[in-house]
Amino acid sequence: MTRSPSVFARRGPAVLELRIHGIKNTPPGEMLGVAPGDVRADQADENGGFYVATVDPVDPDDPATPPTVIRREGYSWGMLARYGGGAWVAIGQFFVQLAWLLILPFGLCNTAYWTRRIPDQARTGEWHAGRGAASLRVFALGLTLLYVCALASVSLDLIGTQCLARPSLCPALPGWVTAFFDAPGFDHRGIRVAVLSLVPIAGVLLLFFVSHQARTRYEAGIFGTVAKIRAASDLSGVAAGQPAAPRRPLATDGFWGITRVKLPSELIHVAAAFFLVSLVIGWDGVFGSCAPAGLDLPPACLDPATTPLLSKWWLTLAAALAVGGLVVVVALVVRQSDTTVAGRTERALEGVAPSDRDERRHALIRAKLRRREGVAGWMLLVATAVYLAVAVSVAVPDAAVDHHPPSFLGLVIAPSIILGVLLAIALSALGWRRGVPRWLSVIVVAVGGVSLLVAVVSTPRDLHLAPLTAAAYGLAALCAVLLAVLVIFWPVGRRRSFAYQGWHGTGPGVIMLLSLGAAMLLSTLLVLGTQCALASTGSTPVCPLSPGGLTTPVAYRNFGGTVPVLAVLLALFVLVVALLRIRTTPRLTTPETVGGRALREPLRTYRDGRVPQVKTAGKLDFRMLRARRSAALFHRGEPLLGVLAGLLAFGVVVAIALPQPLRPALLDLALPALGLITVIAVVTIAENALTTKERPIGVMWDLMCFLPRAGHPFGPPCYAERVIPELRDRIVAWLEADIADGAGGVEDRRTAEQRADDELRALTTRQRRKVVVSAHSLGAVLAVSTIFTLGADTVDGLKNVGLLTYGTQLRAYFGRFFPELFGPAALGTLPSRGPSLWKADPWLRQVIEDHRTDGSGGRDPDLREKPTLRELLTQPDGQVAWINLWRRTDYLGFPDASFKDNEIDRGADEFGPPLYLVKVATHPGYQASSQYMSALRDLMQRL
């Protein structure tokens, strides 16, 4: 989306005010302060782009009216994060929406990738991932296989083995299904298993198709702009004579252009699904005749004289190939970690002339990607062949199996094993940022996991624990305690620094536990919801657990039985916190507000570390103070998410550690509730499919998709990969318009080196044209990311770019969850502690700490090759061209530098514009405040 600079005449507005909306997805008209019909697209499509007003925004007497020297544009990106699967018919849209909901854990997995410790990057065209990348991608593979087990439990176990063998168990099973499998040739167990094994394969292919289609359609239109960033950055570095020193991740040439999980990763996940389905149906085919109960293996199954392993050697061999295939797939996932690839490329460049290194490096990368695609393609072909061999072998009639209707043996313990591996990786991830040695965490987790597996397998049905079983459980518990001690106490002397990171430095593990919990919850709803639906009679769903009824793998039953208990515990915990905090009305600190209306006198410091309470006040005062209290309650979301992650981890442990189902009475209460949740989810998805293209829980998508896909290949595409290049292109085009105009106004007449030189000069040399990037909430994250791409090759600062943010979470949340991307070392601000659950002011310790600290951050003269955001925006006279507006009534707005008055942070009105009724201002509405235009004018003066 390149705009010819000659479009902008020398005469006219000198300042471009570029507004970027936040998580609310504010429409262009509202963003620009005009009616919805008074805007027109100016380089935009149906998903987003730049918009301008066709009329004057407001009347000239309004303080928010921009001066005539300003050109105001709005950038809309909301639909980029919500775009669905295309113009499908209603039934197709339903399955697409369902697939997007199932992809939610994959998006969380991608988020966990960026909470790791991300190293600085060299200008090599490749990505150095750092510790945990390989383990996280194995975790991502496990999430896919967990869904395979859930879909197989529905198709192979519930329908294929139980319902078709005993139709009386499933009165709600559609008649056409029964009639199809009662037809000649399909009326024995083997062929049913072979045919229904296609269902989990089809489910994975649906996830692959939805994700791949959205990614390819979406990324097809952004490659040009991404390439421009890389080319301009490379050329500007050459023109400026800058060495290829390590950069901050956001300033790396290819941060928004390197696809870290591509088609090879997608094909490997599909191949793993084929291998797993081959294994479970092969296992069932081998041992189904000697284990009619379908629960465990009798000794006769392993007796060398009678074991079916030898009598069905061809099926045993195929199943063994499936096991080997899964091992190879895991090895490929580990081997394709970014750090390993980058290291091999650099070694291959030893001895190559410096002038030829870039060309040689790109050739090596392309060859490596082709090899990866070839290996992944062959692996998928092998997996398909193994699956067909197993399916054909199982489809052959076997009288010993067909005369018995056992449960599906292949799924008895498979979900528990996959859950155990995923839980082990997530728990070990708690120590990635905190410095727990890799070898030590691997030993502890491996010993604990093997001990738990031995304990579960050796526990008899009557739950009478033998000494060996009790010792195995005890060793597993000891390893869990030891891991907790390592995570908490290992980093001696560094614990204070972890106070300024998300969840005290355990962010990767917490996010991965949330991802695992979400995946297991969705899988459980699918399995147990199907059980309820199949067993229903009439219009009322029932979930009978009487002996002889439908059964499901024990992992889903136990997790489903704990979910209502965990939900009640979480609800009670939230209720206790809320009740403790709404009993009183605290008077929280507020920033100075110039010209503010009805703002109470701010408190400079807390008295003796305590928050004073309000006893008496007027009605307007109480409305404002209660809004502050409500916002402070919302601020406690981070520790509550930590509690939720812990509860989900406990639920997974229960699902794994109990070899027998929970008491039927508890399950009788839990399953109807889960069935109701499933019905509500299905109805919501169906309504969404009929009325809109938006993906489910669009707000979650905004938060998960702003960073590139790097963990799970089926994750949703990153909208910032289009947003950042477009914003950068627009800013550069505005600033170099006057410069390019002197070259005839035709960009193509300039060589690449001339364009790079003009761009660098437009950014670092004072001139008439300026840009003020005005960003709200999550839009500020996009704005900061854009500025880092602008300043990737300069240590002298950006002389013509200013930043105006409001309602942001840069310091309070993003800087703590992603320290290497938005932390204090990147922004040049003071670090921030996390919120407290129990104190009247969740930010009490940070407020006191800020007031005791001189300044609000600054430059590090030893790191001039890696300038901070503050340094990039610092002008020659020492003023910082960055102003942030915030207020205590904002449930998502915080200071970006310090709670103490400073040159960056300012207060905004806590009451809205004077309308007929007085309205408390919260997260939206900053642009309508008088402080907004005052800040805009101040930024123009600083520039």
User: What pLDDT is recorded for position 116?
Assistant: 93
Q: HSE (CB half, 13 Å, CA atoms) of 179?
A: 3
Closest CA to 108 of 834, 698, 701, 652: 701
The token pair at 739 is: 């410069």
One-letter amino acid of 539: S
Scan for tokens 């006769």, then name that residue.
300
Answer whether 49's CB lies under 8 Å from 76's CB.
yes
Answer whether 898's CB lies under 8 Å from 830's CB.
yes
One-letter amino acid of 917: L
Beta bridge partners of 383: none
CB atoms inside a 10 Å sphere around CB 280: 27
Q: Which residue has the higher pLDDT, 519 or 122?
A: 519
One-letter amino acid of 304: P
* Across 340-344, 482-486, 546-550, least confident range: 340-344
How does the average pLDDT of the chain come out, rounded? 79
Scan for tokens 């410790």, then name that residue.
117
Closest CA to 773 of 827, 731, 721: 731
| Residue range 847-870: mean pLDDT, rounded | 76
What angle, 0 to 180 degrees and rounded to 10, lies between the N-to-C axes of helices 104-115 and 507-535? 170
One-letter amino acid of 651: G
* % of residues, the chain, pLDDT over 90: 28
CA distance 790 to 801: 10
pLDDT band of residue 853 (cuts 50, 70, 90) is confident
User: What pLDDT is recorded for position 260?
Assistant: 79
Beta bridge partners of 18: 73, 773
> Phi/psi of residue 624, each to 5°?
-70, -45
DSSP characters for 292-310? TTSSS--GGGG-TTT-HHH
Q: Which residue has the higher pLDDT, 781 or 530?
A: 781
User: What pLDDT is recorded for position 761?
Assistant: 83
* Across 193-202, 257-266, 683-692, 875-884, least confident range: 683-692
Scan for tokens 């460049």, then name that residue.
349
User: What pLDDT is recorded for position 288?
Assistant: 65
Does position 904 have pLDDT exceeding 50, yes or no? yes
Long-range contacts of 643-646 (CB under 8 A, 24+ apart): 643/570, 643/573, 644/514, 644/517, 644/570, 645/510, 645/511, 645/513, 645/514, 645/517, 646/513
Scan for tokens 């499509």, then name that residue.
45
Does position 377 have pLDDT exceeding 70, yes or no? yes
702-736 as b/e: b if 16+ CB within 10 A: bbbbbbbbbbbbbbbbbbbbbbbbbbbbbbbbbbb
Rg (CA), the chain: 30
User: What pLDDT is recorded for position 189?
Assistant: 80
CA distance 97 to 92: 9
CB atoms inside a 10 Å sphere around CB 672: 17
User: What pLDDT is recorded for position 61?
Assistant: 47
Strands 905-907, 770-776: pairing kind: unpaired
**Segment holding 634, helix H or strand E:** helix 619-634
Q: Which residue has the higher pLDDT, 702 or 713?
A: 713
Answer whether 163's CB lies under 8 Å from 196's CB.
no
User: What pLDDT is recorded for position 802?
Assistant: 95
User: What pLDDT is recorded for position 863?
Assistant: 55
Does position 448 have pLDDT exceeding 60, yes or no? yes
Scan for tokens 């896919």, then name that residue.
144
Angle at 300 between CA 306 and CA 399, to 5 degrees: 65
What angle, 0 to 180 degrees and rounded to 10, lies between the N-to-C axes of helices 637-657 and 554-582? 150
688-697: per-residue pLDDT in tens?
Answer: 656 655 555 6
User: What pLDDT is recorded for position 80?
Assistant: 74
CA distance 471 to 876: 69
| Residue range 806-823: mean pLDDT, rounded | 94
Answer whether 445's CB lies under 8 Å from 428's CB.
yes
CA distance 224 to 22: 25
User: What pLDDT is recorded for position 294?
Assistant: 47
Q: Which residue has the higher pLDDT, 431 or 345?
A: 431
Instruction: Give the CA-trace dihedral at 884, 886, 892, 896, to 10 degrees.
Output: 40
pTM of the model: 0.89
User: What pLDDT is recorded for position 575?
Assistant: 93
Angle at 692 between CA 691 and CA 695, to 5 degrees: 130
Does position 833 have pLDDT exceeding 90, yes or no? yes
Q: How far is CA 267 from CA 104, 375, 377, 868, in A?
A: 20, 10, 7, 40
646-689: per-residue pLDDT in tens?
Answer: 999 999 998 888 777 666 566 666 766 676 677 777 776 666 65
Angle at 213 between CA 212 and CA 217, to 5 degrees: 115
* Across 26-40, 305-319, 389-403, 609-623, least confident range: 305-319
Alpha-carbon 78 to chain mean position: 17
Does position 20 have pLDDT exceeding 90, yes or no? yes
* Across 3-12, 300-309, 462-471, 502-511, least confident range: 3-12
CA distance 421 to 415: 10
256-295: per-residue pLDDT in tens?
Answer: 877 778 788 889 999 999 999 999 998 887 776 666 554 5
Does position 800 have pLDDT exceeding 80, yes or no? yes
Helix (H, G, I), strand (E, B) or coil at 871: helix
The token pair at 867 is: 């300038």
pLDDT band of residue 239 (cuts 50, 70, 90) is very low
pLDDT band of residue 121 (cuts 50, 70, 90) is confident
Instruction: Measure the N-to-C terminal CA separation of the chain; round to a whole number of Å.
Output: 27
User: What pLDDT is recorded for position 253?
Assistant: 67
CA distance 676 to 845: 43
Which residues fall within 8 angstroms of residue 514, CB to CB, at 6 or more apart? 108, 641, 644, 645, 648
Scan for tokens 């990368």, then name that residue.
365
User: What pLDDT is recorded for position 7?
Assistant: 42
User: What pLDDT is recorded for position 897?
Assistant: 92
Does position 759 have pLDDT exceeding 50, yes or no? yes
Helix (H, G, I), strand (E, B) or coil at 53: strand
CA distance 758 to 768: 15
One-letter amino acid of 179: A
Scan for tokens 């399995």, then name that residue.
527
| Residue range 21-36: mean pLDDT, rounded | 85
Which residues fall within 8 angstroms of residue 437, CB to CB, at 6 or more apart? none
CA distance 869 to 895: 15
Scan for tokens 């313990």, then name that residue.
413
CA distance 435 to 487: 8
CA distance 869 to 881: 10
pLDDT band of residue 60 (cuts 50, 70, 90) is very low
Q: Which residue has the higher pLDDT, 644 or 701?
A: 644
Does position 641 have pLDDT exceeding 80, yes or no? yes
Answer whether 836's CB lies under 8 Å from 609's CB.
no
Which residues fall within 8 angstroms of residue 452, CB to CB, at 6 or more apart? 420, 472, 473, 476, 656, 657
User: What pLDDT is recorded for position 108?
Assistant: 93
pLDDT band of residue 8 (cuts 50, 70, 90) is very low
| Residue range 347-353: mean pLDDT, rounded | 58
CA distance 652 to 806: 40
Q: How far is CA 341 from CA 115, 126, 263, 760, in A?
A: 21, 8, 16, 32
Burial class (CB in 10 A: 0-12, 13-18, 19+), 402: middle
User: What pLDDT is recorded for position 599?
Assistant: 58
* Across 1-10, 376-385, 865-874, least confident range: 1-10
CA distance 530 to 520: 15
- Helix then strand then coil, in percent of the chain rounded to 5, is 60, 5, 35
The token pair at 201 is: 């394969």
pLDDT band of residue 785 (cuts 50, 70, 90) is very high
